[in-house]
Structure 1
């Protein structure tokens, strides 16, 4: 038995499924997950000493690569002062000011410890602000595991949503309406039917949890206009795409101002940190100023704030996003060329430091489109790349991530492995 297999068996005795987040279990692709021992730059190493080129980057945070020396130094500098205080610190103000500078729609910011906390709290705040209950989300967009968000579409457009997880009461799910992503006509119909009931619409403007799917500009503009017209709160879930697709997030790319924004991943530099924020008049309803309660023992943790502040500083270096975008496009264009040479149906997309791989001839615009991909062929590709030392997301429904540490040599090594993998798929 290999070391990874032994660790997986040991983990399954004390951890449900052997993992602390489901996708890590490799259930979608099959096989035994490598247990990671250390990381550096664009690589990590498993418990058996095998090195992998890492294209998940802790699912997005490691935008400057693993263990960047300046981020490490920033963390080490604050560690000696204490791990957590449960009291205010000046650094919390500094990172809030930095985020507000980079994302001007976030006039005020409240820090939490996870993306789920951020989205859950933003929805509660929106409901408290509007005195309404209904929320709207989109098929394929994942916003964390809060009860009201683990909902899929009903049998018809205007039917109640259905829970996608055991333990979610139908009475909670009925307050969530699920629409098709990038479908402006469905938006118009939903707001026409119950616009005065909608507290908030939450959306990933660039989706990363049904693989990478870009929001259509007209869809997002329609969404902004309808929320304004009907007094609903527009929430951009930029936990994944915030500071990943552009310095000002997807909202800067599209030129659309949400009422509230949820952030995570990059703002913690790999440490557990997230935030939600937005219009001052909405944020004023949050305790202790208002009646919407939210609290967290480790919110604004000084170590996470130090890592996040330094990461936000590094990504503002001149040309950072131009180089990151170029390397990500070099990867996806190269993979598409390998697939064409092998005559394997395949497409790819990239925006900033995020990318998507699809075993389909066209880039998807919705969850239904992604579902039409050749999933078994993706699974075979995934394992051939893993065997060659390249770690892509272990699911055809997850986006990938490139860091500033992924230089030409790393991309070239990836493409060399991909040529062999696509050739084997075509055989």
Structure 2
């Protein structure tokens, strides 16, 4: 029995499904998950000491590669002084100032411990600020596992959603309207019918949780226009894209300014951190200044803040994002060329250090189009690449990530492996 299998069997006895987050279980691709022992740069090693080129990157945070020496040093230095205080520390101010300096849409920011906590709090804030109950989200956009967000579209365009998880009463999602991504007219119709009751729109401005799906030209601009017109707030969920696709996230790439932004992943440099921020008049509604309650024992954890501060500093080096985008382009173009040569229906897209792979002709624009991908071919590709020492996300519905340590040599090794695998599909 392999060491990974042994660990998985053992884990299943005390951990539901043997994992602490569902996608890790390999259920959508089959097989036994790899239990990771260590990571360095663009590589991870499993429990059997098998090395893989990693394109998951802890689902985005490892933009500098794993175990960057300056980040590790900052964490070690902070840990010596204590792991948690439950009281304010100067580092919290430093990272709040760093975030606000980089994102003009943010005047004030509240630190939390996860992306889920950030989006949950942002929606509560939007409801408290507007005095309204209903929210709009989009099919395929994932904003964490808060009850009101675990919802799928109803049977009609403007019907309220149905829970997608047991344990979520229908009453918890009765105020959630689920629409199709990249369909601005549906959003316009929702506001025409229920605009006085809509507190906010929450959107991944570039989706990463139904694989990578970019907004059509004008889509985000329409969301901004409608929110302004009807007195609702626009929330950009940049938990995944924040400081990953560019120095100012998607809002910097598009010029569309949200009222509230949620962040996580990169701002923690691999440690558990989240944040939500926006205009001062909105953020001043949060306790202790305002009536919207939010609290967290580990919010602004000094060790996590230390990792995030060093990460943000290193991302500010001249040319960082240009180089990252260049490497991601090499990867996606190379994969597309090898798939085409093998006669495999395939397309790929990217932005910054984030990419999507689709086993279909043409880049998808919505959840339905992503769902039309050849999932069986993806599974074969995933396991074939795993055997070749390349670790992609174990799901056809997840974006991938490139780090600054994915050198030309690493990309070339990946493409050589992909050429072999495509030939077998």
Per-residue CA distance 1:198-238 (angstroms, 9 max, x = gap): 00100000100000001123110000000000000100000
1:87-131 Cα offsets, whole Å, 9 max, x none, are 000110000000000001111000000000000000000000011
State yes or no: 1:240 paired with 2:243. Answer: no
**2:8 alignment partner in structure 1:** 8
**Pair 1:181 & 2:181 matched:** yes
Distance 1:157 1:339 in 2: 36
SS in 2 for 1:116: helix
Shift of 1:142: 0.1
Partner in structure 2 of residue 74 of structure 1:
74
User: The residue matched to 2:39 in structure 1 has which SS?
Assistant: strand
Shift of 1:163: 0.5
Q: How many residues align?
A: 425
Q: Deviations over 1:352-394 (max 9, x none)?
A: 0000000001001000010000000000000000011000000
Measure the CA separation in 2 of the matches of 1:180 and 1:148. Answer: 17
Identify the residue that residue 132 of structure 2 maps to in structure 1. 132
Aligned to 1:26: 26
Shift of 1:50: 0.1
* TM alignment of 1:26-175, pairs within 5 A: 26-175=26-175
Write the distance in 2 (CA, Å) between the matches of 1:122 and 1:397.
25
In structure 2, distance between residues paired with 1:214 and 1:240: 13
Q: Encode CA deviations 1:243-292: one digit per residue, 9 max, x unaligned.
A: 01100000010000000000000000000001000011111110000001
Residue matched to 2:403? 403
Q: TM-score, normalised by structure 2?
A: 1.00
Asked if residue 215 in structure 1 is aligned to residue 215 in structure 2, the reply is: yes
Residue 365 of structure 2 is matched in structure 1 by 365
| 2:277 paired residue number | 277
Q: Give the Cα–Cα distance (whole angstroms) in 1 for the partners of residues 57 and 44 of structure 2.
A: 9
Query: Aligned to 2:48, what secondary structure does the other structure show?
Result: coil
Q: Deviations over 1:131-158 (max 9, x none)?
A: 1000000000000000000011100011
Provide the TM-score with structure 1 as the length reference: 0.99
Partner of 1:386: 386
Taking the aligned partners of 1:153 and 1:124, their CA distance within structure 2 comes to 21
CA contact (8 A) 1:355 1:401 kept: yes
Give the distance between the partners of 1:259 and 1:217, measured in 2 at CA.
20
Which residue in the other structure is 1:329 paired with? 329
- Gapped regions of structure 2 (runs ≥ 5): none
- Residue 419 of structure 1 is matched in structure 2 by 419
Local SS of the residue matching 2:132: coil
Partner of 2:347 in structure 1? 347
Distance (whole Å) between structure 1 residues aligned to residue 11 and residue 216 of structure 2:
42
1:158 alignment partner, SS class = coil
Maintained 8 Å contact 1:56/1:393: yes
Structure 1 unaligned blocks of 5 or more: none
Structure 2 CA distance, aligned partners of 1:281 and 1:233? 12
Q: Is the 8 A contact 1:217 1:254 kept in 2?
A: no
1:79 Cα offset (Å): 1.2
